Chain A
Amino acid sequence: MFDLDRWQEIMSALKKNKLRTFFTAFGVFWGVFMLVVMLGSGNGLRNGVISDFGDFATNSVFMWTRPTSIPYKGLPRARQYNFKNDDIDALRREIPEIEYLAPRTQGGGFDGGNNVIRGAKSGAFSVMGDYPEWNLIDPVVVYNGRFLNHADLNEKRKVAVIGNKVFDVLFAPGEQAIGQYIQIQGIYFQVVGVFKPKNSGVNFGGDKERSIFIPLTTFQRVYNWGDIIGWFAFTSKPGTPASVVEEKAKTLLKRRHSVAPDDPQAIGSFNMEKEYNQMTGLFSGISGLIWIVGIGTLMAGVIGISNIMLVIVKERTKEIGIQRAIGAKPWNIISQIITESVFLTTFAGYVGLVIGVGILGLVNYVLSSSGAESNMFKNPSIDFNMAITALVILVISGAVAGLIPARKAVSIKPIDALRYE
């Protein structure tokens, strides 16, 4: 394999017609190059979209009430109703598949009026009544202070965790917010934490950066919501599909609120897992397509190699005849030609791989150094396994490309090869 004579032969064969060798190699180069760049871009797209999800629990479901559409138990259709505090315990008790449960109430911010005031500064923000579990479903980074806890809830403390844009509006840069008081819809709250979102792509109930989280219990009391819950967010335990929990929760909540079991409208819901799976399914589809197209391009290149090897073998018929006359066994000839073909294919493919990865690296560099927080495209790259797979495919296809010419070279009688002009 690593015999000098063998390489001498390979090089002399390839050098004889440099332009032809170049164009042949270019076919494979292009195939691999395209495959790498397309796969990398596909990954970039996937990374971009998936990073939008950030740490968002993808096995989560959201549920809210809507007017009923079917009269039931003497109650009319189009009846309005609300989830209640009791539902929290009922959900936890009767649906063990629920892992985290975060009820939420939401107010303010939508009507445009400034609802939050601190001294001379004021702004319009979403105000959320929350459970600490919320931070396990759509996590934020509390970079100063802390998130809400159960003591806040139990004692109905007037504490608030504010988003970074809220901080920007109400506080001077560098000012310490923790311990300061802000007036939210007429009530004073003490700031205990400042957060920024981990993902910008998923928002429920307004821009997170412009939101204020206060304890749900406090929210209900100070804004006179009684025991009304705005909506539920929950996640399924690992191993249980979110849709199972979704169905169980709907059945339970319908029963508890005298809603017809077959009412399709009375409970609105959003299943993040379904969306997420659809998305990842889409990307799997895209990358499958890329492989098919890429392998196709590569195959075209490999067929080119096979073709050119046939030409080389034909050109060298007499030489091969001489070699056989002085003792070259068929295997010597076959392995020589296959080595040549594998060499040409792998070399060209490797160059394609390196340049492709280089281009992806460059794009990556430009993306990250331009500082543009691109949502759609992030970290385009191919992983090591893909590169190895591509190389293995190259070696194999190089060998296959060499097989037909090699067989042709030894299929002719030595004497006919010698006589060949």
Chain B
Amino acid sequence: MIRLNGINKSYITGNNQLHVLKGIDLHIKAGEFVSIMGSSGSGKSTLLNIVGILDNYDTGDYYLDNTLIRNQSETKAAGLRNQYIGFVFQSFNLISFKNAMENVALPLYYQNVNRKKRNRIAMEYLERMGLSEWAEHMPNELSGGQKQRIAIARALISKPKVILADEPTGALDTTTSYEVMQILKEINQEGITIIIVTHENDISHMTNRIIHLKDGLIESEVLNGKHPVVK
């Protein structure tokens, strides 16, 4: 599903060049549930953003579902994101002036699905998240856990192949974090590939594969909580 070969990425700020990713080789098969760990500044978010086609990379190849992702137009990238990828963010990123249902329905708006139909589908997803009573509520009337579940519903509505979540539980307490992870696990069991970035060991241990990043390189991988597989 996702294949990265020798991905390099530098940020240039003024005269300084910061080499963040120094040759990432990574293959994630369809249906995997992967977590990425590593110290702050190790390049986790950078990697996830490249996978999500939100950012570009300098050298290497990135294949998403066997399509080479490189230098595509922003219109094309938006289409690919809409079709393949669902995002879940640490800070939820709901649109403040839309209610829960409209937030969930938004990706379908960009697929030109008519309002009635997309709101109906959005209600189905909200129901799955156990939030149908909250459909008419605005984001600022919801708790963090509720917001994150709405964000997950929004990520799912376009039936993506991959869900990318950058610290999805970073702003939640332990109980709520576990609830969110439970939902993600269920989604994964339906066959959707999931990649999350996290700092918490217990969270990462709920995934099937843990990737440790250090200084822009993959340091080690752990499969299903077994012994580290040193690369």
Q: Which of A1-57 contact B (CB under 8 A)?
A: 3-5, 8-9, 12
Q: By the criterion CB–CB under 8 Å, are A325 and B74 in contact?
A: no
B106 within 8 A of A: yes
Q: By the criterion CB–CB under 8 Å, are B54 and A326 in contact?
A: no
A410 within 8 A of B: yes
- In the complex, which of the residues B55, B79, B81, B93 contacts A413, with contact meaning CB atoms closer than 8 Å? B55
A174 to chain B, nearest CB (A): 75
Assuming the contacts A5-B102, A5-B115, asked whether A325 and B81 have C-beta atoms less than 8 A apart, the reply is: yes
Chain B residues whose C-beta falls within 8 Å of the C-beta of A4 in the assembled complex: 115
Q: By the criterion CB–CB under 8 Å, are B75 and A329 in contact?
A: yes
**Complex interface bits, A133-174 against B, C-beta within 8 A gives 1, otherwise 0:** 000000000000000000000000000000000000000000
Interface residues of A (CB under 8 A from B): 3-5, 8-9, 12, 318-319, 322-332, 410, 413-415, 418
> Lowest 3 A-B CB distances belong to which pairs?
A327-B82, A12-B97, A327-B110
Chain B residues whose C-beta falls within 8 Å of the C-beta of A410 in the assembled complex: 74
B87 within 8 A of A: yes
The number of chain B residues with a CB under 8 A from chain A is 31
- In the complex, which of the residues A8, A325, A329 contacts B98, with contact meaning CB atoms closer than 8 Å? A8
B154 within 8 A of A: yes
Give bound CA distance, A286 to B81, whole Å.
58
A336 to chain B, nearest CB (A): 11
Chain A residues whose C-beta falls within 8 Å of the C-beta of B82 in the assembled complex: 326-327
B158 within 8 A of A: yes
A29 to chain B, nearest CB (A): 26
B95 within 8 A of A: yes
B176 within 8 A of A: no
Chain B residues whose C-beta falls within 8 Å of the C-beta of A318 in the assembled complex: 93
Give bound CA distance, A9 to B110, whole Å.
14
Q: Which of B72-104 contact A (CB under 8 A)?
A: 74-75, 77-79, 81-83, 86-87, 89, 93, 95-98, 102
A16 to chain B, nearest CB (A): 9
Q: By the criterion CB–CB under 8 Å, are B54 and A415 in contact?
A: yes
Give bound CA distance, A325 to B95, whole Å.
12
Give bound CA distance, A318 to B83, whole Å.
21
Q: By the criterion CB–CB under 8 Å, are A323 and B95 in contact?
A: yes
- In the complex, which of the residues A12, A327, A418 contacts B93, with contact meaning CB atoms closer than 8 Å? A418
Beyond the given pairs A325-B87, A327-B83, 4 more chain A to chain B contacts, judged by CB atoms under 8 angstroms and listed by A's residue number, are A327-B82, A330-B75, A330-B78, A418-B93
Give bound CA distance, A18 to B79, whole Å.
35
Q: Which residue of A lies closest to B77 (CB)?
A: A414
B49 within 8 A of A: yes
Chain A residues whose C-beta falls within 8 Å of the C-beta of B38 in the assembled complex: none
Chain A residues whose C-beta falls within 8 Å of the C-beta of B87 in the assembled complex: 325-326
- In the complex, which of the residues B78, B96, B106 contacts A329, with contact meaning CB atoms closer than 8 Å? B78
A410 to chain B, nearest CB (A): 7
Give bound CA distance, A414 to B72, whole Å.
14
Q: Which residue of A lies closest to B111 (CB)?
A: A327
Chain B residues whose C-beta falls within 8 Å of the C-beta of A327 in the assembled complex: 78-79, 81-83, 107, 110-111, 158
Chain B residues whose C-beta falls within 8 Å of the C-beta of A9 in the assembled complex: 97
6 A–B contacts from the bound complex (CB under 8 Å): A5-B109, A319-B96, A326-B158, A410-B74, A414-B54, A414-B74
Chain A residues whose C-beta falls within 8 Å of the C-beta of B49 in the assembled complex: 415
